[in-house]
Amino acid sequence: MTKREKLNKLNRYWQENCICHLKKTATQAVFGDGNAESEIVFIGEAPGKSEDISGKPFVGASGKFLNEMLSTIGKNREDIYITNIVKYRPPNNRDPKPEEKESCNEWLINELKIISPKLVILLGRHSMLRFLPKEKISDVHGKLFTKEIPELGAMNFLPLYHPAAALYNRGMRETLIKDFKKIPKALLKVK
């Protein structure tokens, strides 16, 4: 079975069996999307309105900015895999609650097991806190971490600000673009 086939099977399973109460208010589950063979996985926090409607992660304004940033490092959406820690949209785009993150956690862990990326880009503090719970995004954005994750083994993480933050704060935009350009160097370090 290919990685894509394994991911499709995983998504069908969790779409049926996920106990996240956000299923009741969301339009649909938003599965991870992109290249199942990618060396890089991007993890955001939760689907927004556009994602809830389309069923794909990062298709709204944040996704457009993410696509722009990918092009600055010679990549496009087909080159990477992107997902969220929570697979259903929280009402009014509020932050996901701890129990919502927990109910989607095994789904996310299994995605990472299947893809087995060399580098995980953590977009924003919610995804960062899942894997680097003692850190502050303002202190560690753009810094490479290798950490042992009980369910996954040693993983390489690069926390970045979420693209949505850059849409509202011009200074943050420049920081995110600068940090994004560290991705190719980080990938070379972890090969």
3-state secondary structure the chain: CCHHHHHHHHHHHHHHHCCCHHHHCCCCCCCCEECCCCCEEEEECCCCHHHHHHCCCCCCHHHHHHHHHHHHCCCCHHHCEEEECCCCCCHHHCCCCHHHHHHHHHHHHHHHHHHCCCEEEEECHHHHHHHCCCCCHHHHCCCCEEEEECCCEEEEEEEECCHHHHHHCHHHHHHHHHHHCCHHHHHHHHC
pLDDT digits (tens, 9 = 90+) for 51-110: 999 999 999 889 999 999 999 999 999 999 999 999 999 998 899 999 999 999 999 999
CATH number at residue 166: 3.40.470.10
pTM of the model: 0.96
Q: Which domain holds residue 55?
A: 3-190
* The pLDDT of residue 191 is above 80: no
Residues 14-24, mean pLDDT to the nearest whole number = 93
Total domains, the chain? 1
